[in-house]
Structure 1
Amino acid sequence: MPRNARRTTLADIAQAAGVSVATVSKVVNDRGDVAPRTRARVQELLHQHHYLAPVFRHTESVEGPTIEVQFKGGLKSYVAETLEGIIDSAAESGASVVISRASRAPHWARDLVSAGRRAVIAITSVYTTTHLNELARAGLPLVVLDPLHLPDNRVNSVGATNFAGGLAATQHLLSLGHRRIAYLGGPTMAVCNQARMHGYRAAMEAQGAPVRDAYVRPGEFTYETGLLGAVALLDLEEPPTAIFAGNDEIALGAMEAARTRGLRIPEDLSVVGFDDTSLAQMASPPLTTVRQPLREMGGAALRTALRLANGEKVESHHIELATELVVRASTAPPRGATSAHR
């Protein structure tokens, strides 16, 4: 059902069932004074028409709208810091937030509406056409944070300038004199990973630095990807002198792989991450990384969800916030080279 389609009413159900609106209302509110056959017929029609009782109207005036925030996987630093932005923005807006792991139970979207949710914000979750159709039938707007895949045109999303971030990270390493620079990334088909990798390639090509096939390794946005990927890179006959990692967790895994080889960061290997989570500052040495404004992204997602829940139009289906390179102690010129700052 399109977002602006008319919602099925009690009168529609009553006409289809051949009963009064009062009878349908009794069934919806689980009143006992309805004949079993009539109740069954009305319930079947309610199900067929995806009727959703607007229970949220009874609580919004007191508590404000409630937004469901779903995430997939573990509660990692990236997710936690994004959630902080959502929660802070909700407090400022007078809204409530319910946090849960992504669910695909039958009729999950209808259940969310029945529980009083007005919109859904998804972090690191993947939604298929089937899921989007169910959300549309339920009249629930969806906002995706940093989408892993190109979103359907029915989906609003919030992200960051991933290409510019990848470009800045690689330009930084090139300016220090590195030419053998590798990219350890996330899933091949993830939109954010592709953009970061393309930024890396664009910077390398602009400087005439070769991008070797063995230097580009996809994986997951995990510590293990960094650990195993860096081991493979360091085993090469001509290993890289610098690694640009697709996120901070991958970067920390790469740093640990170097440590176990007796290599020092940044004297023997420079490493750059992406996100600027709390992990970056706690790393040893502190990690040079691309700051993705995670809290601000969470706030933007919450405000967008509230506008959509109120039936307002938004200027753009996708919002991108600026990234920024944060230079710390994990990068330096390669051995025997001088930096070429511009």
Structure 2
Amino acid sequence: MPVSPRRATLATVAASAGVSVATVSKVLNGRSDVAPATRSLVQSLLQRHDYVAPSPRRAKAMTLSTVEVQFDVDLNAYSTEIIQGAVEAGAEVGVGVVVSIRRDSDRTAAWARDLMAAGRKALIAVTSELTSGQLSAVSRAHLPLVVIDPLNLPRARMTSVGSTNFAGGLAATQHLLSLGHRRIAYIGGPATAACNQARLHGYRAAMEAEGVPVLPDYVQTGHFRYTYGVAAAATLLDLPEAPTAIFAGSDETALGVMEAARGRGLRIPEDLSIVGFDDTQLAPRASPPLTTVRQPLREMGKVALRTALRLAATEKIDSHHVELATELIVRGSTAPAAPDA
């Protein structure tokens, strides 16, 4: 039986099942006076039609429209900045923000329908890797979606918000080169992540422009997390020819690099210069304060929420991908390379 692309109603499901609307309503409400075979047929058709039950009582009780900001990893300083921006933008227009963590394995076929049933006007997914099936589920549920720093770029058109990651990677590496460093390594996030690839390309472009070779061992990719920064830096600093400078793909990773360096008795920045990325609250509080590429995380949260609301209102948007400018912030974790480096 063909499934209508429109949002299904009780009448749609009833017609497909060959029963009355009242029978479908009984199944939805868990009534016992429905034959088992009929109940099974109606339930399967409700799922096939992606039926989302209206919640008039809940709608009347709600004082705010809500947008869900969803992460697939534990929250950190980066997440906090994104959330702050989204909450501020929501408060400006009377929209509430609900924050959740939903692992990839939790994004089942009913995931998007459940969000719509909960009354969400839109979904903002942060640093998530969404499959084509998950994107289709969102589309079928008519749930507007905006992704911040997507970890993959699926073929389906997807609205996203990010920053000028390539320019940021370029500026970070040029800064280290200007200080006389030539043995510069890069520690980034997931190899397939679009933001990581852009930062890595910026790093490579700066090195190539100066005619400085990039040694294969000098590029490490894994996760934008503290523990990975410790592990990857340990690998780099144990090389026979260790780097004199490391560009880390996030502030959290950079703090891990600092820890690995201190564990080997290295001084920062005298023995090792470090540059991070994000400029979260961690950066100025590090010891020494971290030189980093400022990513406008709060503004990214604001832009994502405003864009999501425009999609929910079926307004036309100017671009399906927005990049906000990055800026190099020089602090105490970088210094000129030693004369013999």
Q: TM-score, normalised by structure 2?
A: 0.90
For 1:231 and 1:29, how far apart are their aligned partners in 2? Answer: 57
Q: Which residue identity does 2:274 align to in structure 1?
A: V
Q: C-alpha displacement at 1:31, in angstroms? A: 8.7
1:179 is matched with which residue? 182
1:10 is matched with which residue? 10
For 1:39 and 1:174, how far apart are their aligned partners in 2? Answer: 72
Q: How does 1:251-262 map to 2 (within 5 A)?
A: 251-262=254-265
Q: How does 1:197-276 map to 2 (within 5 A)?
A: 197-276=200-279
What secondary structure does 2:123 align onto? strand
Q: C-alpha displacement at 1:337, in angstroms? A: 7.9
For 1:320 and 1:56, how far apart are their aligned partners in 2? Answer: 39
Pick closer, same or farther for the CA change 1:60–1:187 going to 2, 3 Å: farther
What secondary structure does 2:255 align onto? helix
For 1:31 and 1:189, how far apart are their aligned partners in 2? Answer: 45
Q: C-alpha displacement at 1:163, in angstroms? A: 0.3
For 1:87 and 1:73, how far apart are their aligned partners in 2? Answer: 19
Q: C-alpha displacement at 1:237, in angstroms? A: 2.0
Q: C-alpha displacement at 1:28, in angstroms? A: 7.6
For 1:311 and 1:65, how far apart are their aligned partners in 2? Answer: 16
Q: Which residue identity does 2:131 align to in structure 1?
A: T
Pick closer, same or farther for the CA change 1:253–1:117 going to 2, 3 Å: same
Pick closer, same or farther for the CA change 1:30–1:174 going to 2, 3 Å: same
1:30 corresponds to 2:33: no
Q: How does 1:325-336 map to 2 (within 5 A)?
A: 325-336=328-339
2:87 is matched with which residue? 87
Question: Does structure 1 retain, via aligned residues, the 8 Å contact 2:109–2:137?
Answer: no
What secondary structure does 1:63 align onto? coil
Q: C-alpha displacement at 1:289, in angstroms? A: 0.1
Number of equivalent positions: 333
Q: TM-score, normalised by structure 1?
A: 0.89
Question: Does structure 1 retain, via aligned residues, the 8 Å contact 2:130–2:152?
Answer: no
For 1:9 and 1:322, how far apart are their aligned partners in 2? Answer: 45
How large is the RMSD of aligned CA atoms in angstroms?
Answer: 2.5
For 2:33 and 2:62, how far apart are their aligned partners in 1? Answer: 36
Q: Which moved more, 1:102-111 or 1:316-325?
A: 102-111
Q: Deviations over 1:259-284 (max 9, x none)?
A: 12221111111100000011111100
Q: C-alpha displacement at 1:127, in angstroms? A: 1.2
Q: How does 1:149-168 map to 2 (within 5 A)?
A: 149-168=152-171
For 1:67 and 1:185, how far apart are their aligned partners in 2? Answer: 30
Q: C-alpha displacement at 1:53, in angstroms? A: 2.3
What secondary structure does 1:221 align onto? coil
Q: C-alpha displacement at 1:311, in angstroms? A: 1.9
Question: Does structure 2 retain, via aligned residues, the 8 Å contact 1:288–1:328?
Answer: yes
Q: Deviations over 1:75-107 (max 9, x none)?
A: 111111111111111111211221111132451
Pick closer, same or farther for the CA change 1:95–1:151 going to 2, 3 Å: farther
Question: Does structure 2 retain, via aligned residues, the 8 Å contact 1:165–1:324?
Answer: yes
1:71 corresponds to 2:71: yes
Q: Which residue identity does 1:53 align to in structure 2?
A: A
Q: Aligned to 2:113, which of 110, 115, 119?
A: 110
Question: Does structure 1 retain, via aligned residues, the 8 Å contact 2:74–2:101?
Answer: no
Structure 1 spans left out of the alignment, 5+ residues: none
Q: C-alpha displacement at 1:61, in angstroms? A: 9.6
What secondary structure does 2:293 align onto? strand
For 1:255 and 1:75, how far apart are their aligned partners in 2? Answer: 21
For 2:27 and 2:144, how far apart are their aligned partners in 1? Answer: 24
Q: Which residue identity does 1:9 align to in structure 2?
A: T
Identity %: 60
Q: C-alpha displacement at 1:114, in angstroms? A: 1.3
For 2:42 and 2:217, how far apart are their aligned partners in 1? Answer: 63
Q: Which residue identity does 2:49 align to in structure 1?
A: H
1:130 corresponds to 2:133: yes
What secondary structure does 1:329 align onto? coil
Pick closer, same or farther for the CA change 1:101–1:63 going to 2, 3 Å: same
2:49 is matched with which residue? 49
For 2:307 and 2:57, how far apart are their aligned partners in 1? Answer: 20
For 1:120 and 1:144, how far apart are their aligned partners in 2? Answer: 8
Question: Does structure 1 retain, via aligned residues, the 8 Å contact 2:294–2:328?
Answer: yes
2:285 is matched with which residue? 282
Q: C-alpha displacement at 1:16, in angstroms? A: 2.9
What secondary structure does 1:147 align onto? coil
Q: C-alpha displacement at 1:45, in angstroms? A: 3.0
Question: Does structure 1 retain, via aligned residues, the 8 Å contact 2:70–2:124?
Answer: yes
For 1:283 and 1:178, how far apart are their aligned partners in 2? Answer: 22
Q: Which moved more, 1:9-18 or 1:308-317?
A: 9-18
What secondary structure does 2:186 align onto? strand
Pick closer, same or farther for the CA change 1:173–1:89 going to 2, 3 Å: same
For 1:90 and 1:244, how far apart are their aligned partners in 2? Answer: 35
